[in-house]
Amino acid sequence: MAHLLNTSFIPTSQPLRRNPTSSAPALISGRRGRAQVQAKIREIFMPALSSTMTEGKIVSWVKSEGDKLSKGESVVVVESDKADMDVETFYDGYLASIMVEEGGVAAVGSAIALLAETEDEIAEAKAKASSSSAAPAAPAPAVAAPEPQPAKIADNVGPAVVPKAAATVASTHPASEGGKRIVASPYAKKLAKDLKVDLGSVVGSGPLGRIVAKDVEAFAAQPTVAVAAEPSVGKSAAAVAAEAGIELGSVVPFTTMQGAVSRNMLESLSVPTFRVGYTITTDALDALYKKIKSKGVTMTALLAKATALALVKHPVVNSGCRDGKSFTYNSSINIAVAVAIDGGLITPVLQDADKVDIYTLSRKWKELVDKARAKQLQPHEYNTGTFTVSNLGMFGVDRFDAILPPGTGAIMAVGSSQPTVVATKDGRIGRKNQMQVNVTADHRIIYGADLASFLQTLAKIIEDPKDLTF
């Protein structure tokens, strides 16, 4: 659901001022109740789209200055620390003045535009905006990346020039922010998915190079010409980097998402953690997966379900501490699963994973992954996890440690399942598939015995997975 733009009355006889209050809906009502009746011009504030968001970036203005707005209508697309969201207006009126242009960054709660109640007040609003002492937020540095150098790239990829190949090589345009992230409208992302178009190969024609629907349609209509990929062996580092749209030696500012990840990781350093590893035999789980895979079941959903069932018996491992003085036994078991996306990392949440059947859980997971990669997750879909799972097994990684997300009690790192020679109970040599899991936990609330007991329960569920399909 799109979020509503926070607005506040400002008296027509007073200059603009920044409202220091939070953008929470409850406080919006409070501001509205205290507003002066004679005020006709409203400040539109940068909304808080998640609990961790401190600033937002204007991806694009859906409406232009002077456009008439109706309550509930989309006005602007804002990039939060985790997603791009269409933001709606809370009031009827006219978009009188845009104070933060596309590509600009503004703190949560600061004014980004003015909303006039009538058309006659647009000129007055513009005058107030121009006379305001608060300067507009500067555009994000990432947008002002160095322009690509076609001549240099052409030398690296050879003389052959075909429509789609050329677009791929020149993919470092403003919409990709230095090759780190694709900036596209929500509809363009949906269209690209339907038409099976790689947005990284599309050059945007929108503001600041943003990809819009017509760009996707035009690219999809181009004839596909097969180009034989040259082997990377023997190529210089500069040549490989140029093909990937990376300029070696350049300094690339964090995206909004990378900034959020950085802050969370630094916050994690203040938590005293410890790690416990455990080896689990996966033969029975592998057999179950092969049996029900055709019904749409994913291995991620199976692992999340097994973890949730184990947490039912060990509620302390599902608890969390935020203030350093107390901890909470969470009433729900919400399994967050780490997913790598362009320019960052996000953890979609499978809510009530212990209560949902494996088939519904698998469908929900696929839906969450699609939304995550399109940057369309809503806050409750990524910030409500009570226990996190990070799985690198699909890359052949046999073991690793994960960093504890702030506010949660534990995170489990899952390695790949690999054939292993083991000793059987009768003293013979056998072969079994085994995987290594390592749990990182907050030692203020979870102790070694707690994790050991939890991992024993998890191993029993995975090694005899009959309960996973109930």
Number of H helices, E strands in the chain: 12, 19
* Chain-centre distance for alpha carbon 263: 15
DSSP letter at 320 equals B
Pairwise CA distance, residues 145 & 280, whole Å: 47
Residue type for 257, please? Answer: M
Annotated active-site residue 380? The verdict is no
The whole-angstrom separation of Cα 181 and Cα 183 is 6
Q: What are phi and psi of 96, to 5 degrees?
A: -80, -45
What whole-number distance in Å separates Cα of residue 45 and Cα of residue 48? Answer: 9
- Tokens 């035009």 label which residue? 218
The CA distance from 271 to 321, in Å, is 10
SS3 breakdown of the chain: % helix, strand, coil, rounded to 5?
Answer: 35, 20, 45
Please answer whether residues 183 and 192 qualify as being in contact, where contact means their C-beta atoms are separated by less than 8 angstroms.
no
* Distance (Å) of CA 87 to CA 143, 389, 451: 21, 31, 43
Please give the angle made by the CA atoms of 457, 458 and 462, to the nearest 5 degrees: 120
State the DSSP H helix or E strand holding residue 98, giving kind and residue range, or none if neither.
Answer: strand 93-98
Mutual angle of helices 358-373 and 299-312, in 10-degree steps: 120
One of 3, 314, 380, 443 is an active-site residue; which one? 443
Per-residue b/e over 248-278, b at no fewer than 16 CB within 10 Å? Answer: eeeeeebbbbbebbeebeeebeebebeebeb
Q: Given the structure tokens 């997603």, which residue do they identify? A: 83
Do residues 57 and 104 lie in contact, with contact meaning Cβ atoms separated by under 8 Å?
A: yes
User: What is the DSSP code string of 369-397?
Assistant: HHHHHTT---GGGTS--SEEEEE-GGGT-
Return the active site residues.
443
